Amino acid sequence: MEVYELLSRNIGVVFVEPETPGNVGFLARAMKNFGLQNLILINPCNLGDEAYYQAMHARDLVEDATIYQTLDEMMENLEPDFLVGTTGVPGGSYNVDRIPLRPSQLASAINPASRTFILFGREGDGLSNRELGLCDMVVSIPTDREYPIMNITHAAAIIFYEIFKKRDFDCEGLEEASGVEKKLLVDEMDEILSVIDLPPHKKRVASRVFRNVTGRAFITAREAHTLKGVLRRIKNRMKE
């Protein structure tokens, strides 16, 4: 299958609690511009005619959008391999939930054969810290400090453009670790952390950092299997 087709099939665009029907339509248009087709809405406002009007030739994406009431429900039903959060307020080195990639870095890391979902937050206040904490990685667009927050659909178009440029990428022979495989890997690390003499907040940070690193690396299934085996041996040795 061509990379373009893989990207179109496997990338999901998730709009969390959209407040303005028109923005749903504008987001669908941006998706259509760059060949994306999977729109997912979490607890959306009443779309009405405005969403379809603003979508124009992308109204089919709005009509076919999958709707869930909560992000957790979406995760349970669709089980993406990678979950990417977006934020206009990146954190510093000590805010491990908000250490961001740039859109070009995300595009370079994506394997078209993996199911990658990109989360866009509410127009008013974006994604919560809890929602960002669910993500494997976070993306932020560098902007001027005087006015750093972008309109959600403008930000989405920039991210989609960077991904679209990846359509000539050759992904032959790459088997990315699935979401389940990565979760098992993190679970092994968490079990080790549970018996280490660290304050609870430092254990949480260490777990998040481990997720950040494995998320940005887009590890293969083989790498995940090897790492899990090593962590399991460490855990068993610690219990002796």
Over residues 48-102, the pLDDT tens digits come to 999 999 999 999 999 999 999 999 999 999 999 999 999 987 765 555 555 788 9
Maximum mean pLDDT: which of 43-47, 94-98, 221-225, 228-232:
43-47
Interatomic CA distance for residues 173 and 166, integer angstroms: 17
Q: What is the pLDDT at residue 68?
A: 98
- Interval 30-40: pLDDT, tens: 999 999 999 99
121 vs 211: which has the higher pLDDT: 121
113 vs 160: which has the higher pLDDT: 160
Q: What is the mean pLDDT of the chain?
A: 88
- Interval 103-129: pLDDT, tens: 998 988 888 888 999 999 999 999 998
Residue 184 burial (10 A CB sphere; 0-12, 13-18, 19+):
middle
Q: What is the pLDDT at residue 156?
A: 97
Does residue 169 register a pLDDT over 60?
no
Place of tokens 């869930």: 68
30: amino acid identity, one letter: A
| Domains along the chain with CATH numbers | 3-168 (3.40.1280.10), 179-239 (no CATH)
203 vs 41: which has the higher pLDDT: 41
Interatomic CA distance for residues 171 and 113, integer angstroms: 7
